[in-house]
Structure 1
Amino acid sequence: MTQISLARKSVGGISLWLFQVGASAPLTVLAGSVVATYAATGVVGVPLSFLVLAVALLPLTLSYVAMSRYVPHPAIFYGLSARGLGGAAGVASGAVALLSYNAIQWSLYGLFGYTVAGLTGLPWWVCAALAWVTVGVLGVLRVDINATFFAWALLAEIAVVVLLDLAAFGNPAGGSISAAPLAFDNLVVDGLGGVLALGIAAFVGYESGPAYAEEARSSRSVTAATFGALAFVGVFYALSSWALAVAVGPANVSAAANADPDLPMTVLKEHYGNPMVWIATLLLISSILAAMLSFHNGVARYVFGMAREQVLPVSLARIGSGVHGGAPTAGSLLQSAAAIVVVLLTVVLGVDPMAMFTWLATGAAIGVLVLLITTAVASFVFFARGGGAGESVLTRRIAPIVGGLLGLAVLGVTVFNLDSLLGVDPGSALPWILPVIIALAAVAGLVGGLVLRSRNREVYDGIGHGQPNPLATPEQRLAELEI
């Protein structure tokens, strides 16, 4: 039976890069995460943390991308874990991925609602509902149509951040550019864990390229886009967060961030006037929307990939036609349904939208880091068993080991210092809710995989291999044969 995939060869390397960097949302990170990190932790070395994290993620990314060339799969962490560590591990990774990517997408509804409510005076949940409609409509379209939205929004927001950087470095507080934010001893202080947690959350999305392997024009485009996204995010965020500290003075940046949550907009207003602030605010809204759409697309592909192999209900493997052609429409609609339920629960429970953003984004960051570490182990086993025989020793052995150890170090520091980020008392057990929930998702997936192995060995043996889509129409099968 011919396997039916998503829209083949529909997206190139530039579009992939746009999706990956757009998911990270540069203006959102600067205006939201960077300011919040300075304010919550008081750590001056935030800019250096982005460079440290980029270096730590490099070997993890090397092994991850290398294995993905041999195991293309829309539910990429699920597929890689299954092929390296077995079907049950694959289902466990799939469960953690679905939880993590849903969580960060849900968190952005809180950020979007809070941001737009501040401009319009509407309740935050009304603004979030408008975003839900927009993302839901765009999410069922082909990925190449989505890419057009990403291109203009992302390039414009990058331009605004560059203008802020130029203004800051051209007019430094005290008359000179301080290198204090790049000093190691200004990073390794109390609050480091919170810095790393929000830093990892800022990177989340850069790794999404391999999930579009079935839709990419070549494996080279996936590799180039992923490493390009990692390098850009690390350097751009380091430079921009440094610029923010330079604008007000490194010694004052924490107090300034606490006193003025809109600090980047204040800097823009000072140097370019109110019109630039309005432009930046509109681009901030589009930045959040672009990130929401990227994660929405990612979740839809995970649902499709797992449903196609009958790990999830097979009805969720439906794909569209026409402008929806090759898009995982059933997975997209499921993600939209889950998102509106979470927003409604948040309203009913009276949860602050920014608390929703901080907690869910932090949990998602931990989950994605766990998945990258798991993939390092999976790739080591995969290559040790003879997979990817043409790969270098660096890719097959050194990168998975070094990446796994660095990832564990970052994960440990992050988890044991979450109280500084989440605003709870030191020693409180409350922050442990996040890693416990992730662990429970992994255990549930592992148990589900083992149950599947005992009840339906044929389906279990197909985990990670891309089973044919039983819901494909004859026309879709013919189109696949013609590719």
Structure 2
Amino acid sequence: MSTPSPVRPSVVSQALARDRLGVPSVIMFALTAAAPLMVVGALVSTGWGVVGTTGFPLAFLIIAVILAVFSFGYVAMSRHITNAGAFYSYIAQGLGRPLGVGGAMVALVAYNLLQVGLYGAFGFFASQLLADKAKINVDWWVVALVLWLFVAILGLLRVDVNSKVLMVLLGAELIVVTLFDVIFFSHPAGGSVSVEPWTWSALKDSAGPAFAVATTAFVGFEAAPVFAEEAKSKNRTVAMATFLGLAVMLLSYSLTSWAASASMGVDQTVDLARQSIDQGGPFFPTLIEKGGAWAGDLGTVLLVTSIGAAALSYHNTTARYAFALGRERVLPSFFGRTLARSGAPMAGSLFQTIIAAVVIVLFAAAGWDPMVNLFFWLGTSGGVGVLLLVFATSLSVIFYFVRDARGEGAWSRLVAPILATVALGYVMWQVFDNFGLLLGFAPGAENAAVWAFPAAYGIAAVVGILWALILRGLNRQDYEAIGLGARANTVRIESAEAAEVR
């Protein structure tokens, strides 16, 4: 009688690595997805010129308050649903599986836009740094491909390795951003610090586009539930990472954008930004003028590493969304596999890497502007997609807990979600009513980009809804597993057994 061959461990699995991330590590993924220096030194610095307002500090405050109110229900729902596809699974279980799959398709589009847009800013600033300091002239897309390779490799390693890299980069960045705030506030234009950027008069004419930029800046706050399957003490980790992440983001974004504008002169900021938009905006020239060349050099180096860290963070989030959809067979099942040694979502990571490479090559071949067209347009449009998901998730929280309170208090399961839904609806109306202004076009101007980005989300949502309905007819077991995360296989088996009994 022959003995069976020993079973060799598979190189793939259907589960993410468990218990590898504590609160600090999850916070790293949240904060580095919207790194402070990148947000103000690149996003806001470009936004001053494109949007034409200095009211970003107030916009950050308004959006942060709305997201904080939203987060009470979001965190409450995370206590009952653990899934790497957080928005997708919450919408599926709150508003129904078809809308959940529609939301999943929107999420894939949004996070890919956010991630690939960062390669434009990285290539732009890194190539400038090489030309200025090393006298090496290289096209932006060549440098962008170096970051692309770095992210591709790290995306397949253990998630805690990724978090340690992000922790070092974020720590250095927060220290330096604080130093820059001191420099700016110590050298205000006209001898006094203007508070005009905090007033509604500075914001009201461009509120919609400014809200879109601010929402883009806060993308990452929602990352904690995405990594919940890999987190230690899940409930405590998700709550602390979400609220602490929002607080740190608000403080750093508002203070730094206010300090920089006050230092260059609030009444001159927009004009300076428009004059220097093809050089990356006025943030670093002002920093050099007020703090010296060393400050500009240090800031540029950390900006480049900040963008790289954000690209890695978005890559991890996007790959996990694809993993969640593959595990539940909304996408082909191979997306639901992970590398056994690292626990990384292999197919999702490679898929995102391929998309990024295609976009970089396309923009390079077409000669499109890496800062305005790739970074700002794609990044802010990705932020708008996340805004749509936050709105849908806020509605989902209400419907989810109406059916069963699950021991949650009225504030978390009902009052806060209703307030957040109303506020988010207002913000969405402002954003879409002024979408052309967000991209830098005059009111009433006709350009394909003005409708193409919103249309892309509409198409993605419709495709997802239709696919869910088709899946319901083709394979009831897979349809029943939508949105259930790690429980998907169990439910699929139970559903099949019940069908056999009938």
Pairwise TM-score range, normalised by the shorter structure: over 0.9
CA contact (8 A) 1:114 1:124 kept: yes
- Alignment of structure 1 residues 325-344 onto 2, 5 Å: 325-344=342-361
Any unmatched runs of 5+ in structure 1? Answer: 471-483
1:424 equivalent among 441, 444, 453 = 441
2:293 equivalent among 267, 270, 274 = 274
Counterpart residue number, 2:3: none
Write the letter of the residue equivalent to 2:355. Answer: A
* Alignment partner of 1:212 is 2:222: no
2-structure distance, mates of 1:353, 1:137? 23
* Alignment partner of 1:200 is 2:210: no
* Alignment partner of 1:285 is 2:304: yes
Q: After the TM superposition, which of the residue ranges 99-108 and 32-41 deviates more from structure 2? A: 32-41
Write the letter of the residue equivalent to 1:207. Answer: E
Write the letter of the residue equivalent to 1:172. Answer: P
* Alignment partner of 1:315 is 2:334: yes
The structural deviation recorded for 1:214 is: 0.3
1-structure distance, mates of 2:436, 2:99? 30
2-structure distance, mates of 1:115, 1:270? 18
Counterpart residue number, 1:475: none
CA contact (8 A) 2:77 2:90 kept: yes
CA contact (8 A) 2:46 2:281 kept: no
2-structure distance, mates of 1:341, 1:185? 42
The structural deviation recorded for 1:420 is: 2.0
Counterpart residue number, 1:104: 114
CA contact (8 A) 1:10 1:143 kept: yes
CA contact (8 A) 2:102 2:462 kept: yes
2:283 equivalent among 264, 267, 271 = 264
Counterpart residue number, 2:6: none
2-structure distance, mates of 1:171, 1:342? 41
Q: Deviations over 1:51-109 (max 9, x none)?
A: 01111222222212211221110011111111112211111111010110011101111
Write the letter of the residue equivalent to 2:389. Answer: L
RMSD: 1.6
The structural deviation recorded for 1:303 is: 1.0
Q: Deviations over 1:233-286 (max 9, x none)?
A: 122211111101111221122122233444332233234422332222111111
Secondary structure, in 3 states, of the residue corresponding to 1:256?
Answer: helix
CA contact (8 A) 1:50 1:235 kept: no
Q: After the TM superposition, which of the residue ranges 37-46 and 441-450 deviates more from structure 2? A: 37-46
1:32 equivalent among 36, 42, 60 = 42
Counterpart residue number, 2:181: 165
Q: After the TM superposition, which of the residue ranges 71-80 and 421-430 deviates more from structure 2? A: 421-430
1-structure distance, mates of 2:292, 2:378? 34
2:267 equivalent among 229, 245, 251 = 251
The structural deviation recorded for 1:429 is: 4.4
2-structure distance, mates of 1:362, 1:177? 29
2-structure distance, mates of 1:186, 1:279? 31
* Alignment partner of 1:144 is 2:154: no
Count of matched residue positions in the alignment of Structure 1 and Structure 2:
464
Structure 1 vs Structure 2: percent identity of aligned residues?
39
CA contact (8 A) 1:308 1:468 kept: no
The structural deviation recorded for 1:467 is: 4.8
1-structure distance, mates of 2:446, 2:416? 34
Counterpart residue number, 1:175: 191
Q: After the TM superposition, which of the residue ranges 77-86 and 249-258 deviates more from structure 2? A: 249-258
2-structure distance, mates of 1:197, 1:290? 22
* Higher gyration radius (CA): 2
Any unmatched runs of 5+ in structure 2? Answer: 1-12, 131-136, 490-502
* Alignment partner of 1:123 is 2:142: no
TM-score computed with the length of structure 1 as normaliser: 0.93
- Runs of 4 or more off by more than 4 Å in structure 1? 467-470
2-structure distance, mates of 1:428, 1:455? 45
2-structure distance, mates of 1:42, 1:110? 22
Counterpart residue number, 1:297: 316
* Alignment partner of 1:84 is 2:100: no
Write the letter of the residue equivalent to 1:346. Answer: F
CA contact (8 A) 1:53 1:234 kept: no
The structural deviation recorded for 1:383 is: 0.1
Write the letter of the residue equivalent to 1:363. Answer: S
Write the letter of the residue equivalent to 1:241. Answer: S
CA pair 185-155 structure 1, distance change in 2 beyond 3 A: same
CA pair 349-270 structure 1, distance change in 2 beyond 3 A: closer
1-structure distance, mates of 2:43, 2:221? 16
Secondary structure, in 3 states, of the residue corresponding to 1:140?
Answer: coil
* Alignment partner of 1:95 is 2:113: no
1:368 equivalent among 374, 382, 386 = 386
Counterpart residue number, 1:11: 21
2-structure distance, mates of 1:41, 1:424? 9
2-structure distance, mates of 1:45, 1:133? 37
TM-score computed with the length of structure 2 as normaliser: 0.89
Write the letter of the residue equivalent to 2:325. Answer: M
Counterpart residue number, 2:81: 71
* Alignment partner of 1:114 is 2:111: no
1-structure distance, mates of 2:115, 2:52? 27
